[in-house]
Amino acid sequence: MRTMSDAPATAPLKGAALIKDEVTRLPDRPGVYRMMGDDGEVLYVGKARSLKKRVIQYAQGRFHTQRIAHMVDLTRSMEFITTRTETDALLLEINLIKQLKPRFNVLLRDDKSFPEIVIRREHPAAQLRKHRGAHTIKGDYFGPFASAHSVTKTLNTLQKAFLLRSCSDSVYESRTRPCMLHQIKRCAAPCTGLIALDDYAQLVEQAEDFLRGKSRLVMQRLSAEMQAASDEMEFEYAARLRDRIRALASVAQETQINPETLEEADVFALHAEGGQACVQVFFFRAGQNWGNRAFFPRVDKSDEDPDVMGAFLGQFYDDKPIPKLILVSTEPTERDLIAEAFAQKSGRKVEINRPQRGEKRQLVDHALTNAREALGRKMAESSAQTKLLAGVYEAFGLDGTPERIEVYDNSHIMGTNAVGGMIVAGPDGFQKSQYRKFNIKSTDITPGDDFGMMKEVLRRRFARMVKDEEAGIEDGGFARPDLVLVDGGQGQLGAALEIMADLGVDDIPVVGVAKGPDRDAGLERFFLPGKPPFMLEPKSPVLYYLQRLRDEAHRFAIGTHRMKRAAEMKKNPLDEIEGVGPGKKRALLHAFGSARGVSRASVEDLAKVEGVSEALAARVWGFFRKG
C-alpha cells in the first residue's frame, strides 16, 4: 500500500493541455489573454470578444500555422483580464503589446514620438516653438510632423511670415535691444516694445489660422493689406508684407504633394516581402503634406497583410493624436472595431477607408510605391550588412557572426567636459536608440588620462550589464555585445581587458583600433589579446566598414562633448550666488544688460535694483571679486 508521499508527483500541464484546462474556468466575456513560456516570458498577447470561445481554439488546434503551433507548445502559463466591451479589450491589448513586446506579436519597433509645433499661451507674447512628448504646456498644438527637418522647415517659414518669437521667457525678459532674428526679419521684437502686444496677438492669430488650414484666407488678407499700404505709398511696409506672402507661398511650392480635397488625414501603405514588411506613413494637415516616414514592424512570413495593418494602426495611435480620416492600402482586420476604439479615444468619429478612385487613391498608391522602394533598399542593405559582419567574424577570428558590436571613444579638451561615447551596430546598421553617453565623474582621473576615462566608461557599462543579467533583464539598453571595439592601440586594449577581467566578462572579444600615421584612413592597425598588431587589406569592404564604425563613435563622442561644453558655457554665474533667484536674476540682467554688466557694477548701483538688499548687493559684488 502506497502513502501519499510515495505517489509520483503530477507533472505540470503545458501546451495545449494547459490551455484546455484554463478554458474550463474562463467566462464567456470580452477580455485580454497572455500566453507565457519558461521564466514568465510573455509569448503572445491577444484579445477576444469571448475569452472562452477564443482560447479553446488554441487547445483544438484550429486555424494554426506552424508558428502558432510552436507558440502553443512553448506555453507554460496563461493570464486573463476581463473587460466591459471588446473595444476596451482591443485598447488594453494594444497597450500590453507595446509594454511587453511579446515574441509572437506583430510589433511596431520604431515608436519615438513625432515633433509638433506649439504656440505657447502662458505669456502675454505667445512663443512659437518645436515640441515633443506629452501636451503639458498650455497652448495650441499642431502636428504631427514626420521628422525634425520637416518641422524646422515649417517653423522657419512661420517665423518669416508671422514674425513670432522663438526665444525662451528668460531671454525675452532680459532683452534690452532686438536680437539677430529681428534684424533678419524673422521676429517682430515684442521683447523691446517694437510692436504692441495687441498687434503681436494679431500675428499670433494669423499663424494659428494658417496652421488650421486657412492659408488662402490669410494670404488674401495679407494681399489686401499690402495693396492698401501700396496705395498709401507706404512702400517699405508693403515690401515687408510681400516677403511674408512669399514665405507662405513657399510652403506649397516646396511640398511634393498638396492634395486639393484633403484637409486632415494620415495615409498608410503596407508592402510585405520575404518575411519583412514596410509601412509608409504620410501626414496631411491643413491641406499640406507634413512629411512621411517608413516603419519596419517585426512580422513573420505567415502574417497576413490585413492582420499586420490592424496591429500596426493600433500600436501607432496608442500615444498619438488620431485624425478624422485614415487612408490605407490594405483594409485592416476588424476595421470597424479599430475605428470604434479610435473614436472612443479621440472623442469623435474616425473613418478608416481604402479608397478605390480619385485623388485619395493616388495618394495611397504613391505611399505604396514609397513603401515598396523603402523595403527594397532595406533588404539590399541587410544583405550587404550580413556580408560585412561575416567579414568581421573572419578578420578577428570570432566564434560567430556578431549581432551586436559596441564601439567606444572618449572626447575632451585638456581633460575638461570629458565624456565617453558608446555606439551600437548590427545586422540592421547603426542602432541609435542603443547609443549611450557617459559623463566622466571620477575625481581620481588625471585630466587628459584617456586610459583612466576608458576604464571608467567600460566599468560602468559592463557593471550595469552584469546587474541586468543577474536580474534576468535581457532586452535593456545594456545587452551583452558580441564584439567590443575601443579607439586606441595596445594601451587602450590593455585598459579594457583589465576592467573586463575584474567584472568577470572577459569572454567578450575586445579589439583595439589604432589610427594610422598622421591619422591616415586605410592604415589602421588592429590589436587583439595575445596577437601581434595587424592591418587589413587596403580598400577591403570590411576595413571601410570598421572605419565607419570608428568614425561614428568619434562623431557621437565629440558631439556629446560639444553639447556638454555649450551647456557649461551657457551657465549664468548669477545662478551660483546664494539668494539670487529667478526674479532677482531677471531684475539684475534687465538693469545691467548681462552678467558681465552686473560684475562691473558697484555695491551702490546693485542695491538700487528693485528687490536687491544692501546685504545681497555686497554678496553679488564679492562673488565677482573673490580672490
Shared domain check, 451 and 359: no
Whether the predicted pLDDT of 612 surpasses 70: yes
Answer whether residue 565 is part of any domain: no
Answer whether residue 141 is part of any domain: yes
Residues in the chain: 627
Q: Which three cell numbers, joined as nine digits, stand for 540? A: 577591403
DSSP SS3 for 477: coil
β-partners of residue 35 are 44, 78
Q: Which three cell numbers, joined as nine digits, stand for 100? A: 511587453
Q: Which three cell numbers, joined as nine digits, stand for 497? A: 581587458
Whether the predicted pLDDT of 276 surpasses 80: yes
Which of 178, 191, 66, 209 is CA-nearest to residue 124? 191
Shared domain check, 88 and 136: no
Shared domain check, 250 and 269: no
* 326 band by pLDDT with thresholds 50, 70 and 90: very high
Structural domain tally of the chain?
5
Q: Stretch 87-101: mean pLDDT, rounded?
A: 92
Residue that is last in its domain, among 41, 67, 100? 100
Residue that is last in its domain, among 327, 359, 377? 377
Q: Stretch 169-189: mean pLDDT, rounded?
A: 86
User: How would DSSP label each residue in 13-33?
Assistant: P-HHHHHHHHHTT--SS-EEE
Whether the predicted pLDDT of 330 surpasses 90: yes
- Which contiguous run of DSSP H or E holds residue 171? helix 169-174
Shared domain check, 463 and 417: yes
User: HEC states along 551-577?
Assistant: HHHHHHHHHHHHHHHHHHHHCCHHHHC
Q: Stretch 198-218: mean pLDDT, rounded?
A: 81
- C-alpha radius of gyration, the chain, whole number: 31
Average pLDDT, the chain: 84
Answer whether residue 557 is part of any domain: no
Shared domain check, 221 and 123: yes
Looking at residue 147, its pLDDT comes to: 77
Looking at residue 600, its pLDDT comes to: 85
Please state whether the predicted TM-score (pTM) of the whole model is above 0.75.
no
Q: Which three cell numbers, joined as nine digits, stand for 196? A: 504692441
CATH of the domain at 341: 3.30.420
Looking at residue 243, its pLDDT comes to: 72
Shared domain check, 462 and 500: yes
Residue that is last in its domain, among 199, 231, 254? 254
Interatomic CA distance for residues 406 and 458, integer angstroms = 11
Answer whether residue 26 is part of any domain: yes
Cβ atoms of residues 195 and 217 within 8 Å? no
Shared domain check, 161 and 190: yes
Looking at residue 257, its pLDDT comes to: 52
CATH of the domain at 618: 1.10.150.20
Answer whether residue 383 is part of any domain: no
Q: Stretch 184-197: mean pLDDT, rounded?
A: 88
* 50 band by pLDDT with thresholds 50, 70 and 90: very high
Answer whether residue 520 is part of any domain: yes
Cβ atoms of residues 487 and 554 within 8 Å? yes
Looking at residue 429, its pLDDT comes to: 85
Give the E-state strand segments of 374-458 in sequence order. Answer: 405-413, 416-426, 429-430, 436-439
CATH of the domain at 35: 3.40.1440.10
Whether the predicted pLDDT of 568 surpasses 70: no
Answer whether residue 396 is part of any domain: no
Sequence letter at residue 107: L
For residues 426 and 211, which has the higher predicted lDDT (pLDDT)? 426
Shared domain check, 132 and 238: yes
DSSP SS3 for 509: coil
Q: Stretch 553-575: mean pLDDT, rounded?
A: 74
Answer whether residue 144 is part of any domain: yes
Q: Which three cell numbers, joined as nine digits, stand for 243? A: 516677403
Whether the predicted pLDDT of 308 surpasses 90: yes
* 447 band by pLDDT with thresholds 50, 70 and 90: low
Q: Which three cell numbers, joined as nine digits, stand for 304? A: 497576413
Cβ atoms of residues 482 and 405 within 8 Å? yes
Looking at residue 64, its pLDDT comes to: 64
Q: Stretch 518-545: mean pLDDT, rounded?
A: 83
DSSP SS3 for 161: helix
Shared domain check, 539 and 420: yes
Range(s) of the domain holding residue 151: 116-254
Q: Stretch 196-218: mean pLDDT, rounded?
A: 82
For residues 560 and 272, which has the higher predicted lDDT (pLDDT)? 272
pLDDT digits (tens, 9 = 90+) for 575-596: 778 888 888 888 888 888 777 7
Q: Which three cell numbers, joined as nine digits, stand for 515? A: 589610427
Cβ atoms of residues 326 and 298 within 8 Å? no
Cβ atoms of residues 335 and 372 within 8 Å? no
Whether the predicted pLDDT of 519 surpasses 60: no
CATH of the domain at 492: 3.30.420.340
Cβ atoms of residues 398 and 405 within 8 Å? no
Sequence letter at residue 254: E
For 417, counting Cβ atoms within 10 Å of its Cβ (0-12 exposed, 13-18 middle, 19+ buried), the class is buried
User: How would DSSP label each residue in 37-69?
Assistant: -GGG-EEEEEEESSHHHHHHHHHHTTT--HHHH
Cβ atoms of residues 481 and 406 within 8 Å? yes
Whether the predicted pLDDT of 111 surpasses 70: no
Using the 8-state DSSP alphabet, how is residue 485 labeled?
E
Which of 81, 150, 68 is CA-nearest to residue 117? 150
Using the 8-state DSSP alphabet, how is residue 295 labeled?
E
Pairing between β-strand 325-328 and β-strand 265-273 as defined by DSSP bridges:
parallel
User: How would DSSP label each residue in 599-616?
Assistant: HH--HHHHHTSTT--HHH
Which of 549, 506, 548 is CA-nearest to residue 530? 506
Shared domain check, 159 and 80: no
Interatomic CA distance for residues 471 and 43, integer angstroms = 19
Looking at residue 157, its pLDDT comes to: 78
Shared domain check, 353 and 298: yes
Shared domain check, 507 and 416: yes
